[in-house]
Structure 1
Amino acid sequence: MTVKVVSAVVILIVTWILAKVVKNLLSKVLQKVSFLNRQTDGETLAASLGSIGSLVIWLFGLVAVLNVFKLNEAVTPIQGMLDDVLGAIPNILAAGLIFFIGFVLAKIVRDLVVTALQAANVDRFADKLNQKASAEVAGVSGDVAQGTDGASRVGDTSTGGAGQLRISTLVGQILFVVVLAVVSISAFDALGIKAISEPATDMLTKILDAIPAILGAAILLTIGVVIARIVGNLLESVLRGFGVQRAVEGLGVEAGGRDVAAIGAKVAQVAIVLFFAIAATKMLNFPEITNILNTVLALGGKVLFGAVVIVVGVFIANLLAKTIGTGQTAQIVRYGTIALFVAMGLKYMGLADSIVNLAFGAIVVGGAAAAALAFGLGGRDAAARQLQKLQDGKSS
């Protein structure tokens, strides 16, 4: 029994020494990692990990003491727990090493991409596009509200602030997350804990599978916006060259100080962007959004075609009125033609078909009734004379 006591005391002394050494060694080594120097309840993470290592050594020492006294009933559950912990340590270390390497690799990729994009002046190009768009908006505002030169000059001084997120930084952060997600899948697999690794792996796999579709949709939508800008500017120049503004004003249509060419270009730009947005939603496999955009595009096409019909009707009405000349007849023909083409335009738009049909029928019936009343009231005396002649003829 004395030998067992001496052995237990020796084991405890050795355990105490090893625990002190492990605690100090882990604390000093881990303090060199900046991430582990954060304070938690007055103690750094490095010191906490050192204490955990010391407690693990004490746990092994106590198990050894229990084995000396052959207390199998107390040793068996603790020994089983230690075996499980020791079996999981290699997997945890492997997962931690994989994640650390992946984290470093992701930072390198992010810094490399950000540096490359900055060297290619991508941020400056994006700023120029932003300033150009802002200038266009300021120009439109200046056309609508004149006499605000001071406010315009104040607006011109605004440039891209330093707080704005740069394109290079955004792309770098996206690639950082992608690389870290790929490495995280391998780290979870190395853990060997299926309850954690399988759901996390499935989730990350779905995210990675969705990334190409998201990037493709974003690229497609960006191309659509660029094409819309080019086509819009080209169409605006062509419409200005053909003198659309003068032609519209010559038809008697009041533009209200608005640029007809710019409005037509904006409509074309919106249509092109909608078309590419539909293609992007198809790539993302969002059928609900695709159906909504298809409906909007179809309705927009009907409205646009109906508006064209109405504009053509106004042109024809003015042409007929000028051909007939001045007077009440010309005005009746003019407004009647406009009403007819407005009804046709609303019919093509699909807006309130029943109301248009009812209104058109009411106009026809009202006109017929008015003609009948006018003929009846105006011909009353003539009809009375004819009846009197008939009566005189019979009486004679």
Structure 2
Amino acid sequence: MNNNWFGGDGFNTSGFLNSLGNLVLALLVLLIGFIIAKAISAGVEKLLKKTGVIRKYGTPKRRSSTAEGDKDSPKKWTPEKVAGTIVFWIVMVFVFILFFNILNLNIIASPLVDMMSTILAFIPNILTAALILLLAYVLALVLKTVVVKVGHKLVQNRKVRDSKYVKDSSNLGSYVDSAGTIVFYLVLLMFLPGILGALGIDAVSEPFSGMLASFLSFIPRLVAAALIFIIGWIVAKIVRDIVSNFLHALGADKLGARLGFDKALKDTSISSIIGTVVFVLIMIPVTISALERLQVAGITDPAINMLDDVMAMIPNIIIAILLIFVGLFVGKWARRFVADLLARLSFNNVTSQLRVGGWKASGNGMTPSDIVGYLVQIIVVILFVVEAFQVVGLSFLVDLGTAVLAFLPSVITAIVILGLGIILANVVKRILASLFEGSELEVLSSVAKYAIMALALFMALDQLGVADTIVNSAFILILGAVALAFGLAFGLGGRDNASRYLDKIERKAENTEMNKENARMEREKMKQENRNEGSKHTASTPPQEAVHDDVDQRPVDNDWSGDDLSRDTSAWDSVNDADDFPENDQRGHNNPYAPDDFDNDRRGE
């Protein structure tokens, strides 16, 4: 209760009337202030709607609604209405301050006064930030417009659209618009620290200012690095084309085709490869220089160190490549030389000795000399490749290639042993087949052949070092088992049969030798008779007739062929097994008229 309304003696009429007047005045101020606030709010809202500033730059685009209800229903809150409402309540705060001051309610008016004082004191900062933002916006808009217009003019230029560096000219317009947008926001970003500083938001503006300063200081280095890289790339490309065309004019591609490189290089040529190598050699130092201009130690230092190592290795790499090319050339020459030499030495006939299925090279087939030539080429190339790895410093591959080369002599020796074993086995089989005639004795020649081949196989495996203990043990066990089985078969179970079989073999061998001796003596006798007849005929013929007349044109067979010998001697061996005669006369010849005691004994057995 206001004490001004009561005096010492009672109710104070003048104080009441005074307070009543203040109340009426305060209500009148509140009403007028409300009307003014409404008018200002409506004016601001209408101005914003008319200019469309907030709608154009302050709100994002929304998806249009297709529903009729959405089109007809008015929006409750719009950006203009929100701005008008804010202005309305700001004016009303001033009205409330006047209202409470008129009513002498300082306890309520003081906080409002302090708040408005702070707001009014901050208004210059807001205006400064707004001016900076407006300036940034205008400048960004101008730069964006310039970039877009200049870019579209360049895009419309026919030289630019038809340039070989432009792959798809239809998207150039969108690229230009994107570049303009980037420039617009980049300018706004540059003014953002000033705006934040004007508002007094130092906690945000200072770190952002430092980041922006670092970014702005990095832009010149980035531009310099980009220019160095682009210029170096253009120069390297020009040099590559010059080198490629020069080598092509000199006939480097034809030389590569003569050396056989055209098969390995199907879609390219030697001149283009050398040009690409030159391009890379130029781009490596250019890239190093561009990275150094960036001055970003965390990224550039490892990349520069790697490129320095590559540059240091380039001479060794070139030497290694030259060694490989020389190895290919020398290997090809060695293949031809070895193949021709072996062919002249009749090495291709080795297949007939090895009995490799009647192998004959026809068309594009390979002969044994060609195979050996290719093996020599592979060995020569491996030697040069290992040396190339040694130059480059690839120790693991050097050790691997050295191990392969160290194992090659064992492989070659094993192949030679196996081949000689097969040849020797075939020779022994033919010798035994010629010594022992008859189908019953072919088993012995086959056993001898495969025994020699097995021995050669075990020797080859031992030379290769393939499980030495197992191979040696297996060979000893097999040999012992065969010997034991042979001993048991002939010593215990088939002693009598073995005796008869061995006697039969012995008689066969003796008959064969005697047949050959008789055939030789008969051949000598016929030669002597032919000589005697020739001398008699010469003595009885006059000299003139001997000169003019021809000698008897009938050919005299002074020598028998192997087929005649086999036919003549086969009649001597036509006796069956029952007519084998163990007894001989005193001259050592078979006696076909010996007694039948031996036959009777055999029938009894």
Mark yes or no: TM-score above 0.5.
yes
Instruction: Say which one has the larger Rg.
Output: 2
Shift, 1:223, TM fit: 1.7
Task: Report 1:205-354 matches (<5 A).
Answer: 205-246=308-349, 248-250=351-353, 254=357, 256-258=359-361, 259-318=367-426, 325-327=434-436, 328=441, 334-353=449-468, 354=470
244 and 5 in structure 1: CA distance in 2 versus 1, 3 angstrom threshold: closer
Uncovered stretches (5+) of structure 2, i.e. residues with no partner: 1-120, 155-159, 362-366, 500-605
Identity %: 25
| Aligned position for 2:495 | 378
| Aligned position for 1:147 | none
Shift, 1:235, TM fit: 0.4
Does residue 22 of structure 1 match 2:172? no
Aligned equivalent of 2:246, options 85, 96, 116: 116
Q: Is the 8 A contact 1:36 1:46 kept in 2?
A: no
Give the whole-Å Cα distance in 2 for the aligned partners of 1:62 and 1:263. Answer: 80
| Aligned position for 1:358 | 474
6 and 166 in structure 1: CA distance in 2 versus 1, 3 angstrom threshold: same
Which secondary structure does the structure 2 equivalent of 1:165 belong to? coil
Which secondary structure does the structure 2 equivalent of 1:222 belong to? helix
77 and 297 in structure 1: CA distance in 2 versus 1, 3 angstrom threshold: closer
Uncovered stretches (5+) of structure 1, i.e. residues with no partner: 135-159, 383-396
Instruction: State the TM-score, normalized to the length of structure 2.
Output: 0.49
| Aligned position for 1:95 | 225
Q: Which amino acid aligns with 1:229?
A: K
Does residue 86 of structure 1 match 2:216? yes
Shift, 1:330, TM fit: 6.0
| Aligned position for 2:510 | none
1:238-296, Cα deviation, whole Å (9 max, x unpaired): 01111112355256565522511111111211222222232233334333333333333
Give the whole-Å Cα distance in 2 for the aligned partners of 1:8 and 1:248. Answer: 100
9 and 289 in structure 1: CA distance in 2 versus 1, 3 angstrom threshold: closer
1:93-116, Cα deviation, whole Å (9 max, x unpaired): 221221122111221222122212
Q: Is the 8 A contact 1:281 1:290 kept in 2?
A: yes
253 and 75 in structure 1: CA distance in 2 versus 1, 3 angstrom threshold: closer
Deviates more, 1:96-105 or 1:355-364: 355-364
| Aligned position for 1:194 | 297
277 and 61 in structure 1: CA distance in 2 versus 1, 3 angstrom threshold: closer
Give the whole-Å Cα distance in 1 for the aligned partners of 2:281 and 2:461. Answer: 52
Q: Which amino acid aligns with 1:303?
A: V
Which secondary structure does the structure 1 equivalent of 2:466 belong to? coil
| Aligned position for 1:53 | 183
Give the whole-Å Cα distance in 2 for the aligned partners of 1:375 and 1:337. Answer: 24
| Aligned position for 1:144 | none
Deviates more, 1:240-249 or 1:170-179: 170-179
| Aligned position for 1:126 | 256
> Aligned residue pairs: how many?
353
Give the whole-Å Cα distance in 1 for the aligned partners of 2:486 and 2:217. Answer: 102
Which structure has more helix as a fraction of its residues? 1
Shift, 1:231, TM fit: 0.2
29 and 105 in structure 1: CA distance in 2 versus 1, 3 angstrom threshold: farther
Q: Is the 8 A contact 2:430 2:445 kept in 1?
A: yes
70 and 260 in structure 1: CA distance in 2 versus 1, 3 angstrom threshold: closer
Which secondary structure does the structure 2 equivalent of 1:351 belong to? coil
Give the whole-Å Cα distance in 2 for the aligned partners of 1:314 and 1:129. Answer: 38
Q: Is the 8 A contact 2:132 2:191 kept in 1?
A: yes
Give the whole-Å Cα distance in 1 for the aligned partners of 2:410 and 2:458. Answer: 14
Q: Which amino acid aligns with 1:312?
A: L
Q: Which amino acid aligns with 1:345?
A: A
6 and 368 in structure 1: CA distance in 2 versus 1, 3 angstrom threshold: closer
Q: Is the 8 A contact 1:38 1:45 kept in 2?
A: no
Q: Is the 8 A contact 1:305 1:348 kept in 2?
A: yes
Greater relative contact order (Cα < 8 A, sep 6+): 1
Give the whole-Å Cα distance in 2 for the aligned partners of 1:3 and 1:370. Answer: 124
Give the whole-Å Cα distance in 2 for the aligned partners of 1:111 and 1:42. Answer: 28
Deviates more, 1:340-349 or 1:3-12: 3-12
Q: Which amino acid aligns with 2:404?
A: V
Shift, 1:317, TM fit: 4.5
Q: Which amino acid aligns with 1:271?
A: I
Give the whole-Å Cα distance in 1 for the aligned partners of 2:286 and 2:395. Answer: 32
Q: Which amino acid aligns with 1:91?
A: R
58 and 363 in structure 1: CA distance in 2 versus 1, 3 angstrom threshold: closer
Which secondary structure does the structure 1 equivalent of 2:435 belong to? coil
